């Protein structure tokens, strides 16, 4: 059976894959990605995102109406909150998808909606033995996919991730989330109702939030295939504000570690070491040069915010 026919057998008469709850026909092409058959729809749907000054704008008829406050949730990225709110004004299909995603997150049927490099998707990537940068795949013709539904084990609900480049484009983000939502397979649930409550803008802060910065963001290592001696580089990280910033480091390879794994950075700076163990690097084609680029991310232990990213490059040269 072809991929197209196999996918059609799992499609309702409405044109929507089982479990997505959609109601509008779709057109497009089918692609196979690993063990999953994926529909790439025609990207004609226009989703209008709200401006940030439209905090109290009401959408739809009836009383009360939805406001952006209804989409505030700790497991939904702020950019995604605005994107879902904007989907309410884009027609019945996008409106239904936005309410389904909100309900799924509230009921813990969907783990959340996150930017790809945030802490929760990074941990899901570790469970799947991959890097967070591989959570959103490419299709055959190298068209970049911008959002995806990522499955976990049988006890973990799926989560949705989107590219960092979409965080400032709420209109496009809403469109991409709608496409990705169709493949989560989350069962039918009760849709949320509008609260009608208004949002109050937070008072302006007297000073900018301190930031964590590293004095060397692109360290490089050169090793020879078969080397057993560890290499390391020292990097100084510091807080831009008057207080210290707590952090913890995450890596995605056994041959790369951070010493110490967590700590706090004062304004005058603190030193960390990146250590590369060549013995743990697996070379798939011996005798051929290999170049590896992988991130080290420093997260906040308080709210899992991505504080700083350091890109490590390792050049593995063949032994002569």
Domain boundaries, the chain: 14-181, 212-317
Q: How confident is the model at residue 28 (pLDDT cuts 50, 70, 90)?
A: very low
Please enumerate in sequence order all residues whose Cβ is within 8 A of that of 166, keeping only pairs 6 or more positions apart, or say none: 79, 146, 147, 172, 173, 176
Residue 169: predicted pLDDT = 92
Residue 140 has what pLDDT? 45
Q: What is the mean pLDDT of the chain?
A: 77
Reply yes or no on domain 212-317 having CATH 3.10.20.30: no
pLDDT digits (tens, 9 = 90+) for 48-106: 444 443 333 434 444 468 888 889 999 999 999 999 999 998 888 899 999 999 999 99
Residue 259 clears pLDDT 90, i.e. is over it? yes
Q: In this predicted structure, what is the pLDDT of residue 286?
A: 81
Query: Is the pLDDT score of 38 beyond 60?
Result: no
CB 128 within 8 A of CB 176: no
pLDDT for the residue numbered 14? 36
pLDDT the model gives residue 77: 93
Lowest mean pLDDT among 80-84, 125-129, 135-139: 135-139
What's residue 236's pLDDT? 94
* Predicted local distance difference test score (pLDDT) of residue 313: 94
Q: How many Å apart are CA 51 and CA 55, to the nearest integer?
A: 8
The pLDDT of residue 105: 93
In this predicted structure, what is the pLDDT of residue 16?
39
pLDDT band at residue 151 under the 50/70/90 scheme: confident
Q: Give the residue with greater pLDDT, 248 vs 23.
A: 248
Q: How much of the chain, in percent, has pLDDT values that exceed 70?
A: 74
* Position 206 pLDDT exceeds 50: yes
Per-residue confidence (pLDDT) for residue 52, from 0 to 100: 40
If you average pLDDT over residues 22-46, what whole number do you get?
43
pTM tops 0.85: no
pLDDT for res 19: 38
* pLDDT bracket for residue 178 (50, 70, 90): very high
Predicted confidence (pLDDT) per residue in 268-288, tens digit: 999 999 999 999 988 888 888
């Amino acid at each position: 059976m072809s991929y197209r026919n196999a996918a059609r057998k799992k499609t309702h008469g409405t044109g929507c894959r089982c479990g997505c709850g959609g109601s509008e026909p779709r057109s497009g092409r089918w692609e196979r990605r690993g063990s999953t058959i994926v529909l790439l729809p025609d990207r004609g749907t226009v989703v209008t995102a709200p401006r940030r000054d439209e905090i109290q704008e009401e959408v739809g008829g009836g009383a009360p109406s939805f406001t952006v406050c209804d989409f505030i949730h700790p497991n939904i990225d702020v950019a995604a909150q605005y994107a879902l709110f904007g989907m309410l004004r884009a027609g019945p299909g996008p409106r239904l998808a936005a309410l389904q995603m909100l309900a799924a997150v509230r009921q813990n049927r969907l783990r959340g909606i996150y930017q790809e490099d945030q802490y929760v998707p990074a941990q899901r990537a570790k469970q799947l033995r991959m890097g967070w940068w591989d959570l959103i795949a490419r299709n055959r013709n190298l068209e970049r996919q911008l959002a995806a539904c990522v499955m976990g084990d049988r006890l973990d609900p799926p989560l949705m991730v989107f590219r960092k480049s979409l965080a400032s484009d709420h209109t496009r983000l809403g469109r991409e989330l709608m496409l990705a939502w169709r493949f989560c397979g989350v069962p039918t649930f009760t849709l949320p109702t509008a609260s009608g409550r208004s949002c109050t803008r937070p008072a302006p802060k007297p000073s900018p939030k301190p930031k964590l910065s590293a004095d060397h963001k692109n360290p490089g290592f050169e090793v020879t295939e078969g080397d057993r001696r560890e290499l390391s580089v020292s990097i100084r990280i510091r807080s831009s504000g008057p207080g210290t910033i707590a952090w913890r480091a995450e890596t995605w390879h056994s041959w790369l570690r951070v010493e110490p794994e967590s700590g706090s950075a004062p304004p005058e700076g603190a030193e960390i070491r990146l250590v590369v163990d060549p013995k743990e690097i697996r070379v798939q084609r011996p005798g051929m040069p290999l170049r590896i680029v992988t991130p080290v991310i420093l997260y906040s232990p308080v709210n899992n915010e991505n504080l700083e990213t350091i890109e490590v490059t390792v050049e593995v040269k063949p032994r002569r």
